[in-house]
Structure formats: C-alpha cells, structure tokens
Structure 1
Amino acid sequence: MKNFKYIKLLLPVLLLAFCYSFAQVKIAPRPNFIPPVIDSTKTLTQQQYRQLYDKLKNYSDTTSTEMLVMIVNTTQGEAAWKYAFEIGDKWQIGQKGKDNGLVFLVAVQDRDVFIQTGMGLQHLLTDAQTKLIIENEVVPQFKRGDYYAGIDNGTTAIIQVLQGEYKADKKQGNAVPFVFILAFIVFFIIIIAIISRRSGGGGRGGGRGGFGSDLADIIILSSLGRGFGGGGGSSGGGGFGGGGFGGFGGGGGFNGGGAGGSW
C-alpha cells in the first residue's frame, strides 16, 4: 500500500518530465520522399551510398520491411535512442498496419549509434540481438573509421536475423543477456532507493535533472503499447507507387525498442 502511494505521487512528476523531455527533441517534419539512406554528413562516398541504397530498397521490395539508415553529425545533446525513436515514429517508417520499420542512426561527432526497431519486428529482432550486432558487427568497424563497413555489416546481420540465419558468437551471446539482467536489477534498486529516500522529505521537489527525464521516458514509453503510433495518416501503403520507388513511410508504431553503443 505504501509503495502504491509512492507510485501515485511520482507518476505526475514522471509525466511532466516525459513531456518536457520530448519537447526538446527537434525533428524535421516528415518529408514527402524518404530514401532508405540519408547521409547529411557526406560520410559515405557516392558508390557506398548507392550500394546501401540499392541493398535496403531491394530488401524492402521483397519483404516490405523498411530499414532507414540515417547518418548525422550530432543529435545536439539528445539521447541517440530518443532521436532515433522520434525519426521512426514521426516519419512513420515501416508499412502501415505492420509497424515493420527500423531506424539505424549514426551520430558521427557524438560517436553514438542506435538501432531502433518497430514493434512489428521486435519478436524477430530482440534488443539483445540488436546489441550483439552493434558490438560484433558495427562498433569494431567504426573504431577503425570505416563507417560504410560498419553499416553494411550491421544491416546485413539484421537481415540475417530477420531471416533466421544470423549466428552470433556463443560466448558473447550468453554473456550479454546476463549483463542486461544485472543492469536491470541494479537500475530498479537505485530507483527504489531514491524513492524511499525522498519520500520522507515532506514534499521537497528536487530538481528534475537528466536522470529523471530519462527515467520518465523509459517507464512511459515501455507502457505505451503502440507508442505514439504512426498508423495514422497515409502515404499510399508504404510509399510505393506505380512500380517505382516512392520512398519509405506510412507505418510507425515505435515504442523505444532497440539497442545502441558508442566507440
């Protein structure tokens, strides 16, 4: 009963922090045409860009799954996962009704990468598998300065997972879930400790801070189900028209799933 009282008191604060935090994310309005690769940094050569473009377009043509690779210099202080979430959700990456979109975000100056998965892919591509792909296929190449190889390897591994073909190193495959479980337990112990410590403070507000903002995002996004749901609107069933490539978009349904890393 006492715990319920704490949750009741904390929920409005979390909701306010959540709204304030998301107001800080400034994402460009959804363009009319969304290509499978957006490189605003000119990190890729023309040939590398075309190879990735064709690869992801062909995969979308044959499976309807839309993978958007977005390369930016910086997320301007925003968490990479949140930035990728906003792109996927507001731009409605994926097919309408399937929520089978994916955003592969690379922030070059920030040295951050995040793969955000739509809800329609999460039963096939779990967060743990996504983390393995980033650690095994992407980050090692990024550390060598080969961004194309990292993105190419990463997207290939994602395709293999979705086809049931990707086999991660067993040693790493067993270790990562344990690390996630341990981190999850420690995280909630810290939260309980903070709530318990502050509950006797007689209504002291305390600053919101970045930690409270991220906590609010995680808790509320995890409970949203369809998230801020794309599904609405309309882009001709995924952006294909007249046999030609009309760009991505039309779905959405992101709820914060995925994994990231840095180098």
Structure 2
Amino acid sequence: MKKIFFIFAIALFAPNSFFAQTKTEAKNIFANSYDNVNDFEKILNPNQVKTLNGTLKSFETKTGKKIIVVTISSTPSYRDLSNYSEDLHRYLNIGLKIEPSILFVISKDLRQIQILGDNKISDKLSNQEIENIVNTFVVPELKKGDYYKGLETGTAQIIKKLE
C-alpha cells in the first residue's frame, strides 16, 4: 500500500516540476539597461526618441521622479501586456534598481497600453486620473496613427500632474 501511494505521489507531482516556469527565466526577456524612452517596437523615429527622452530626463532632474516609456511588439511568454508590465516594473525596481515613478508600456501590434505608477505618487496622480489621461490624450492620437504625439501629450499631462 505504501509503494502504491509513493508511486502515485511521484506521478502526481513530478510533471509539475518538469513543466513549471520560473521567474528567473522570465527576467531573461528584459533588456539589461533601460533609458527613459525604449522603442523596441521601432514606432518612433530617432529624432522623436531623442526629443521625448530629453523631456523626460529634464523632468527627472527637476523633480527626482523617473518616467520610463517602453514600446514592444509582443509579450513573449506572457498572456497579456498587464502581466508583462508588472514583471517589467518589478525587474526595473529590484533587478536594475531604477525605481520608475511611472512605467508607460505601449504596443502598436497588440493595440494595448499599460501605465503603472509607483505608490509614492498616488497622492498626486490616482489610477482614475491616469485612465482619464490615456482616454483623453493618448488614445485619440494612437487612433490617428500618431504614436509620438500620443506619447508626448500623455507624458506631458502626467508631468503636469506630478509637478
């Protein structure tokens, strides 16, 4: 009876260890360094990246709050952009020690946007305000196909709220 129980237990739990994904594997999909603007999807031209990067660096110097923009075409090994963004935010905080106040992740191919804010800014910018900024300023420009203008106006509104 003990042998049957032992074999049953091994058969039940062994496949889980063979097919389980670990968090260390997920971190390998993220870049080793991040700037304020990271256009992995290549939806912005170099001049637009430089201008937006300058604006965000200037804001960071003035306030100490860091905004990071990431564009991606897909979320490898993730079900959706939300899970990807949360793990990226955790990776930036713990793995790279960057600690962004705002993480703005956008995907043209997936047609999704995710904005994550640090708890330190919740007194100045609520989730509802972030949602209003996205719906009012970002989405209309994205629908027109102007991703730079959507990112620029969205980050400008966030900057205005955080100053």
The two structures have a TM-score, normalised by structure 2, of: 0.76
Q: Does 1:91 align with 2:92?
A: yes
Partner of 1:130: 130
Q: Distance in 1 between matches of 2:146 and 2:84?
A: 23
**Gaps (5+ residues) in structure 1?**
1-19, 164-263
Provide the aligned C-alpha RMSD in A.
2.4
Q: Does 1:74 align with 2:83?
A: no
Distance change in 2, residues 1:21/1:143 (3 Å): farther
Q: Does 1:120 align with 2:120?
A: yes
Considering fraction of residues, name the structure with more helix: 2
Q: Does 1:101 align with 2:98?
A: no
Q: Distance in 1 between matches of 2:86 and 2:37?
A: 16
Distance change in 2, residues 1:22/1:117 (3 Å): farther
**Gaps (5+ residues) in structure 2?**
1-19
Q: Distance in 1 between matches of 2:105 and 2:157?
A: 16
Q: Is the 8 A contact 2:92 2:100 kept in 1?
A: no
The aligned length equals 139
Q: Distance in 1 between matches of 2:128 and 2:25?
A: 26
Distance change in 2, residues 1:30/1:24 (3 Å): closer
The two structures have a TM-score, normalised by structure 1, of: 0.48
Secondary structure of 1:26 counterpart: helix
Give the residue type in structure 1 aligned to 2:152. D
Q: Is the 8 A contact 2:30 2:88 kept in 1?
A: no
- Percent identical across equivalent pairs? 24
In the TM superposition, residue 41 of structure 1 has moved relative to its aligned partner by 1.6
> After the TM superposition, which of the residue ranges 114-123 and 80-89 deviates more from structure 2?
80-89
In the TM superposition, residue 100 of structure 1 has moved relative to its aligned partner by 5.6
Q: Which has the higher contact order (CA 8 A, sep 6+)?
A: 1
1:191-218 alpha-carbon deviations (Å, 9 max, x no partner): xxxxxxxxxxxxxxxxxxxxxxxxxxxx
